[in-house]
Amino acid sequence: MFAYNVFMVVSNAYFFALSIRWLDYGRRAFEFEFPSRTDTSAATLEQIDETVLYGYTKFIDLIDTVFFVLRKKHSHLTFLHLYHHFMVPVLGWSAIKLGPTCQPIAVFAILNTLVHVIMYSYYALSAFGPSVQRFLWWKRYITLLQISQFCVFVTYGAFSAALTSGWPKGLYWIGWVQNPLFLLLFLNFYRQSYRKSADKTKKVL
């Protein structure tokens, strides 16, 4: 588990750096015109290869589910977990096929890899056992970071829908339907996981 978590930290940090470059360090974040399909420049082809490689990492994320099953942590196999880990590879790969150099993919990659670096760092540290786990008080803030991530995606998706031209309809579906759904699922998870535990603590006190 520790080696896997460290690998995920390193790989996500690598793609975080790449995705910043894909957006030309933020300068292309709000260019909503769909990229030319006839652009065969070396830089574009390199970005396509890198984006496809990033897409493969979304399938590697499925190993989390395998670990939960092997360790018999069935309580972790929630609808959110299963839906998230199934749909993200499917949606990510679909987006890459439709427009591998489009800006929303880079925006998604920047935020998603940043969240994953923090999340897998937490998992790697927690693997050291109780002596370290007692210092890991910030788990709930990872969920809040994920919620914030999808708030940005929903807002960015709204801008994209209003300002883009020539985009495949499939990309609108990914941005408009899936991101709000993920946001609602994570909000519900946060409420069930942390609000209820806080209420129980108050009752005990």
Q: Give the catalytic positions in this structure.
A: 84
Residue by residue, DSSP assigns 21-70 as: HHTTTTTTTT--BPPPTT---HHHHHHHHHHHHHHHHHHHTTHHHHHHHH
- DSSP structural state of residue 74: G
Please state, in angstroms and rounded to a whole number, the distance separating the CA atoms of residues 124 and 139: 13
Give the amino acid at 203.
K
Please state, in angstroms and rounded to a whole number, the distance separating the CA atoms of residues 119 and 113: 10
